[in-house]
Every structure is written in C-alpha cells, then in structure tokens.
Amino acid sequence: MPRPRRSNLSQRSRTAIRQRNIASQLSDEERDIAREERRVSMERRRALIRATQTQEEREAARETARLETRNRRAYRTDQQRDNLRRARRNGSSVDLNRAAFLYDCTIDYSLHRLVCVGPMDVVCQHCGALKFAGETPGLCCVSGKVVNQ
C-alpha cells in the first residue's frame, strides 16, 4: 500500500515568510520599480494572448463575460443594489475616523459609500423597539431584563 502524500504546507509557509522578508527589506523606490515591472509584464502577457486569439475566441470570451455579468446582477438583492447605487452616487471623501466625536451637521453621512445601515425594520421580541438589521439583539432592553414603561 502506498504511503499517503504529505502536505507541503510548511514549505509554502517558509516560502511566504522568505518572500515577505525580502519585500520588507526593499525601499519604497525599489518596491515601486518592482510593481511597475510586474504591471508591464502582465500587459505584455495580455497583449500576447490577445494577439494569438482568433476573432471567434474573442467573441466567445466577450459573450461569456457578458453572461457572467448578467447573472451576477440578476442575483443581487435590493439592499445590495441600493448600496451600490448609493456608493456610485456619492464618492464622498468624508473621513469617518472619529466622526462620531466630530459630528458636522453639514455632511450627510448616510450618503457615504461605507455607511450602509439600512432601514430600522427589525423589532425586538422583548420590548418591541425598532432596530437596524446588524444591531446587537439585546442592546435595547438587555434581552427583556429591563422593562420600559
């Protein structure tokens, strides 16, 4: 009976560690140069692939991409569509770091691309309070331990 294959996970980890160490020793200029070389290499590779493709292959690839996009759009929920629409409509550059402590009434934070809380349509089963979908369940009445009158 043959021996089971051994995982090379430790080798992959060592390789990744070695590559991270090498990358961390590069200066910003060297890192930018390496990034540019990778970009140019990818462009050449794509150009070579395009040059060797026939017209039928190109059309088939376009049709496949078109169908994938159509399917992806068809399976989006209304919430995802609203979030995408809001993000596209407002490419806001508002800095949200510590924004709760530095509130500015002239900024509509709900239009920011990272702010997607949705409607208050979840009802607490203990006290009946309206809450957001991602809000902690027992936050309003400590799961029925506090009675509001």
User: What does the pLDDT read at residue 116?
Assistant: 75
Q: Which residue has the higher pLDDT, 137 or 52?
A: 52
The helix or strand, by DSSP H or E, that contains position 131, with its residue range, turns out to be strand 130-131
Over residues 105-129, mean pLDDT = 79
Please report which helix (H) or strand (E) contains residue 130, including its range: strand 130-131
What's the mean pLDDT when you consider all of the chain?
82
Q: What value, to the nearest 5°, has the Cα angle with vertex 56 and ends 51 and 59?
A: 90
Separation of first and last alpha carbons in the chain: 74
Predicted confidence (pLDDT) at residue 134 exceeds the cutoff of 60 = yes
Identify residue 47 by its one-letter amino acid code: A
Of the listed ranges 31-35, 47-51, 81-85, 125-129, the least confidently predicted one is: 81-85
- What is the per-residue pLDDT across 2-46, written as a single tens digit (0 to 9) for each? 777 766 666 678 888 888 888 889 888 998 898 999 999 999 999
What SS3 state is found at 123?
A: strand
